[in-house]
Structure 1
Amino acid sequence: MLKIGHRGAAGLAPENTRASFEKAMEANLDMIEIDVQLSKDNQLIVFHDHNLRRLAGINKKVNELKLSELKKIDIGSWFSEQFAQERILSLAEVIELVKGHLQINIELKVIRRDHNLLVKKLVRLLKERDFSQDVIISSFDHQLIKSLKQTNPELQGAILVASVPVDPLRLIRDADADGIHPHYLTVTEELVKLVKQAGLMINTWTVNQQDEITRLKNLNIDGIMTDYPELLVER
């Protein structure tokens, strides 16, 4: 089973930061889940929200600022003053940091008008960094995953869902995806069996309760995302 750190180790350090990714590596996880979007100057940057308000107290959209401007913003103090120097990273920087230690689940955060450029730049970077075999690309935009897979079938793609799907296999196949990433409260024994018997993958998010992690492990799920890596350590 894949042990996946949500936004690094978001319960231990500010999400999607170098400190968070370093803690995920220290915990010997298999993978981190991160969020990727484009800056104003079309750089692939690692940040979850479309607005900087929650983490930086600045009411600006991420895509209104260039990478050089985003680099000046403190995104760690909200968590603790000890993380005041944490800055937004480019995807290239994250790959450089974790390569050889962690795989990456890249969740694409998309504004519809830029999705073709986002995919193009992502595919190019993964090839340049020889990292294509170490990623899963996921999104709530299932058409985006379909577009990605049609042009880059070698990449692993998964659809994200937050509610119970009526026909999960159809959803996955309609997107040409390799699997599904459902919210943990929607995961049942029936769903896991259905997906795995079809030869597809199922990883779930974001599980921060030990009893739920035990339940999901017993269902033989493929991977679990958590903010607290220690919960995934075998007991």
Structure 2
Amino acid sequence: MLGLLWVVGLGYACAQATSAKTNADLAFEAATIKPAAPSPDGHTHINYPEGGRFSAINITLINLTGWAYDMPQKQILDGPSWMNSTRFDFQATTDSAADVMLRAMTSEQDRMVKRRMVQRLLEDRFSMKLHRETRVLPAYDLVVAKSGSKLTASQSNGKSYGGGRTYFHAEGLSMDLIAEQLSQITGRIVVDKTGLDGRYDFKLKWTPDDAPASEDSSPELFTAIEEQLGLQLKPAKEPVAVLVVDHVESSSPN
């Protein structure tokens, strides 16, 4: 009986290894990359529904690279300027066998596999070569203000967020994600040093530095973060994990 159990266990382990290898080898069968069409809302959209389809609309290459490698855009360095400015529309599909495999995955597994598939697409179509390293960069340390955190513990099962030039609203964000979003707003890497766990909801409203002041205007960004969130951004230099772009070429439209 022991021998039989060992054989069954070995077979299961081999099946898992085979499945993992197959997942790692998945790639898009066909992909079109075109200059972005006029966007009706001006936003970027990344869509990866269940199965073998993927699309990214009105997206810069730095944005898509950040999604594919799960790396904040501020931590992708040394790429040419057009990676931040030229916008593309991507449409990609797999063959039927890969579609079946992807449909059998959980949403988290599907997202992880599709990130790797987009990485391969960037390598194939843009000749992209990257490497990871750690660099000491100008940053902000995100800490709890002396008045204490004013964040609200989230009751949401998921997460959602959005904003504009003067506001940002969020539900269900961890402190890592809050730091990442503040990095996008401030234009500098933000490192979470609050020590806060859990997920939070908040609304942040501020007046840009170049906006004319008025009696009912919101405070400037750093003051708003302290008064409305109970957090502070302190200038610092931090060792940060980064992706360095060694080589990239512009893809020909197709």
Q: Is this a same-fold pair by TM over 0.5? A: no
TM-score by length of 2: 0.24
TM-score by length of 1: 0.25
- Per residue, is there more strand in 1 or in 2? 2
- Per residue, is there more helix in 1 or in 2? 1
